[in-house]
Amino acid sequence: MAAKLRYLPFLTQISPLTHVERITAPLMSDQGANDPRVPVSEAEQIVAALRQRGLPVEFLN
């Protein structure tokens, strides 16, 4: 847990959600349910944020 807190500022800085306002092109996310690096819930967050901004998003999972 302490390691997560230690790297939290860095992880926040590199998170796509932190910079979602900079995404201007349509996005297609192809998310596998068994992806060991990116949980489906994280892909759903970026898709929801882009849809909230009115950008075209295609979400495949």
DSSP track, 14-61: H-GGGGGGG--S-EEEE--TT-SSS-HHHHHHHHHHHHHTT--EEEE-
Single out the residue of 35, 34, 28, 31 nearest to residue 50, CA to CA.
28
Q: Is the pLDDT of residue 3 over 90?
A: no
pLDDT for residue 4 is more than 90 = no
Is the pLDDT confidence value at 1 over 70? no
pLDDT in tens, 5-55: 889 999 999 999 999 999 999 999 998 889 998 899 999 999 999 999 999
Alpha carbon dihedral 47, 52, 55, 56, in 10-degree steps, equals 60
Can you give the pLDDT at residue 38? 87
pTM of the model: 0.79
